Amino acid sequence: MFDTDLFDTDLFDSDGAIYMGSQRDPAGCRVGLFGVPYDGTTSFRPGTRFGPAAIREVSSGLESYCPQLDRDLEELAIADLGAVEIPFGAPEPVVAAVKSATEAVLALGLKPLMLGGEHSISSGAVAAVAARHPDLVLVQLDAHADLRQEWLGAHHSHACAMRRCLEVLPSQQLLQIAIRSGTREEFSELRQSGRLVAIEQMAEALKPLRGKPLYLTVDLDWFDPAVMAGTGTPEPGGFLWRDFAALVEELRHHNLVAADVVELAPMLDATGVSSVLAAKVVRSLLFLLDR
C-alpha cells in the first residue's frame, strides 16, 4: 500500500491527452506511465519531444484488447501521471529530473513506464530502478549501440545512452538485441563483451534470466523504417511487429519491473503509422508490467 498524499504532483504536468484506459489518480494502480518531452541532444532530425503526446493521442485508435496476451486494458489499473517537468537546455538536469520522477513512481509502489523523448533520458530511470533492484538486467532494443563516451561534446547525448546506463547498473548485465549500427569500436566491444544478441537467439538468450528483474528500453528505430518512418535516426535493415511479438512471447515468463519507449518523432511521418505502432508497443508493455 502507499500514501498518495506523499506524491509530489509538482514533478508532473497532467495537462493534455491521457493514454487509453488509464487514470490520473495513482491510487489503486499497479503501473505508472509518464512522458518526458525532450530532444535536446538530437543529432540528426529533431522532434522526439512530441512523441509522448502523440502516443497518447493515437492510443484510442487501438483496440483495448490484445489477442496475443488475451488481456484487455479495461482490466488493468494504470496511472498516466502526465509529463515530467523538465528544464530547457543541457541534458544533465533532465536526466536528474527523470531519476526523481521515477523514484516518485516507485515510491507509490508502481512499475514505471516512461515515454520519450530521446534515448538520453533512459539512464535517469535506470538509475532509480537499479537502486531498488541491484540485480537489475537491462534489455535494449535499438538500431544503434549507443556506447559512445561522448558525442558532439555531450556525455549525455542519445548516442551515449547505454554507456551512461552501464555506469548506473550495478549488475553490469546488458543485453543488446539485434543492434545493426555503430562505430567499429562499439561493435568490437559488443562482440567481446557477449552483450550483442542476434534476433534468432533472442529467446534463448533471455530464458536464463527468468525470475530476475528486467528493465526493457525500446528505441523505436529498432523497427524498420518501412514501418517506423517517424524517428530521428532511421536505419534500414530493421524489424517488424512479428519480431517484437516474439520478444513479448518470451517476456511473458519474465519479471519486467520497468520499461521505456523512446525516439518517436511523430511529425516525420505524415501518415501517423509510426505513432500507432509506438502506442501498440506501449499497450503490450502495459500488459507485461501489470503482473
**Full pLDDT tens readout for the chain, 291 residues:** 344 554 566 789 989 999 999 999 999 999 999 999 998 778 778 899 999 999 999 999 999 999 999 999 999 999 999 999 998 878 899 999 999 999 999 999 999 999 999 999 999 999 999 999 999 999 999 999 999 988 777 777 878 899 999 999 999 999 999 999 999 999 999 999 999 999 999 999 999 999 999 999 999 999 999 999 999 999 999 999 999 999 999 999 999 999 999 999 999 999 999 999 999 999 999 999 998
Q: CB of 144 within 8 A of CB of 108?
A: no
- From CA 78, how far away is CA 124, in angstroms rounded? 22
Closest CA to 265 of 45, 23, 18: 45
CA–CA distance, 76 with 282 (Å, rounded to integer): 13
Helix (H, G, I), strand (E, B) or coil at 235: coil
Rounded to two decimals, the pTM is 0.95
Amino acid, res. 180: R
H or E stretch at 84? strand 78-84
Strands 111-116 and 78-84, by their bridges, are: unpaired
Q: Return all residues near 67 (Cβ < 8 A) that are at least 6 apart.
A: none
Crossing angle for the helix pair 122-132 and 91-107, nearest 10 degrees? 40
* The three three-digit cell numbers of residue 67, written as one number: 489477442
Q: Tell me: is residue 133 an annotated ligand-binding position.
A: no
Q: What is the pLDDT of residue 2?
A: 42
**Beta partners for 66?**
71
**What's the CA gap between 25 and 18, in Å, rounded?**
12
Q: In what order do the strands lie in the sheet with 31-36?
A: 12-13, 78-84, 31-36, 111-116, 255-262, 213-219, 137-141, 174-177, 196-197
254 is in an annotated binding site: no
When divided into structural domains, the chain yields a total of 1
- To the question of whether residue 80 is assigned a binding role by annotation, the answer is no
CATH assignment at residue 258: 3.40.800.10
Residue 219 marked in a binding site:
yes
Does the CA dihedral 68-74-75-81 come out positive or negative?
Answer: positive
- Answer yes or no: is 156 a known binding residue: no
Sign, CA torsion 168/77/4/52: positive
Q: Could you identify the residue written with the cell 506501449? A: 282
pLDDT reported for residue 9:
65
Q: What are phi and psi of 196, to 5 degrees?
A: -80, 125
* Distance of alpha carbon 132 from alpha carbon 153, whole angstroms: 32
Q: How many CB atoms lie within 10 A of CB 146?
A: 27
Give the pLDDT of residue 7: 59
Q: Is residue 144 a known part of a binding site?
A: yes
Provide the residue range defining the domain that includes 77: 4-289
Q: Nearest 5°: CA angle at 40, between 102 and 115? A: 35
For residues 35 and 279, the answer to whether their CB atoms sit within 8 Å is: no
- As beta bridge partners, residue 219 has 262
- What is the helix (H) or strand (E) element at residue 104, kind and residue range? helix 91-107
Positive or negative torsion for Cα 243, 248, 253, 258: positive
